Chain A
């Protein structure tokens, strides 16, 4: 038994010592680190964000340190989301500038002062490039031609007219509303049958869930003319699902034409590249309406052409008939008599050859109005040439 009492000091004295040591070593300095983040808790109203930085060896976390964004650096989170088109959530690897802090009650953490987007963007682009390369390399039907991805889906011809539409979208989303409104309230009065296939379109499970809906569309008894995938709302920035390899592959190989309206002007997901991209839900709806309008116009043109052809045929026939009518009229003996000619009869026979007529023969001259009966008193040769 040790009778000697250990020398003790107050907790605060020890902690102050630690505090001083840390301040001496880390005070006034900032450090760039690259680490995975987890347990991200954003408080947008206060503009704070708490998280943990971790480092792993396989699946085992070997290093962990609390981190925090205060209001003066919270805007970096928003910019990060804006620039990289992905949410600032657990699982990301980020490069950031930190300051080491120590609080006598709350302990040590790293205060984030700045995020390096270039790193995050570069990483995303590399991933995107890898996914695209894998799609081309592992699927002979997906080809890269002059910077354009040619897939069975976007090579397949569109139907002449769209009527049965399968709509894959999130329930009660702006995308669903925008698309449906434009389609249903179209000024041409076209009727459509829109069947919704609802699913979440964000989050880790989204690619699988969207793929499941697409399988349901393909297995459906309804022979859909087109599949529309839309996502709406300017605040939705999580694009990750639409860059998923498996989903992109299923879209590329899907035989039904797919129109996408899942982004905005500056972002094109891999899914967009595999199908036909129309940017917004409203644009997809407008495309469908234009297509049907074009079809109707063609019909009207063909109809007009048929009528024109029919009219031309009738007109030609009328002209031709008129021509023949005139010819028959000219040949009609009545017409000839009107011009002052006469038909000469002898013995009730028309005289064609005048040799049979001699002086004293009785002849009948048929004029238009009257018949003149006379006796020939003299015959002479006709010197005039009437054969014009």
Chain B
């Protein structure tokens, strides 16, 4: 999964959770999924950040 795919999924999920129709039953599951997507994106971002820093320092 790419960062963008994960982030798009997160956006959709959050919108779903925020609608009034959601049942509390499913809420917990959705929140869990959202947190997993957030974790994934955070890890990915940290890696990209590190890669950029590596490239920059390598060229100095």
Contact = CB atoms under 8 A, between A and B. Distances in A.
Interface string B28-48: 100100110010011001001
A303 interface: yes
Contact of A307 (B7, B14, B52): B52
Nearest to B52: A310
Of A303, A328, A331, most B-chain CB atoms within 10 Å: A328
A365 to B, nearest CB: 14
Given A307-B52, A343-B24, A350-B23, A331 B42 contact: no
Nearest to B56: A307
B49 A324 contact: no
Interface of A: 303, 307, 310-311, 314, 317-318, 320-321, 324-325, 327-328, 331-333, 343, 350, 352
B7 A321 contact: yes
B13 to A, nearest CB: 8
A318 B45 contact: yes
B37 to A, nearest CB: 9
Interface string B9-34: 01100100110000111011001001
Determine the main DSSP class of A at the interface with B: helix
Interface of B: 3, 7, 10-11, 14, 17-18, 23-25, 27-28, 31, 34-35, 38, 41-42, 45, 48-49, 52, 56, 59
B41 A333 contact: no
B14 A324 contact: yes
A324 B17 contact: no
A344 to B, nearest CB: 10
A328 B14 contact: yes
12 contacts: A303-B59, A310-B52, A314-B48, A320-B7, A321-B7, A324-B10, A327-B14, A331-B18, A331-B27, A331-B31, A343-B24, A350-B25
Per DSSP, chain B at the interface is helix
Nearest to B59: A303
A333 B31 contact: yes
Contacts, number: 50
Given A307-B52, A318-B45, A328 B38 contact: yes
A311 to B, nearest CB: 7
B8 to A, nearest CB: 11
A325 B17 CA distance: 13
Given A317-B3, A333-B24, A324 B18 contact: no
B49 A314 contact: yes
A318 B38 CA distance: 10
A326 to B, nearest CB: 10
B28 A327 contact: no
B42 A321 contact: yes
Nearest to A332: B31
B11 A328 contact: no
B27 A328 contact: no
Contact of A314 (B17, B23, B28, B52): B52
Given A314-B52, A320-B7, 17 more contacts: A314-B48, A314-B49, A317-B41, A318-B45, A321-B41, A321-B45, A324-B34, A327-B18, A328-B31, A328-B34, A328-B35, A331-B14, A331-B17, A331-B18, A333-B28, A350-B25, A352-B24
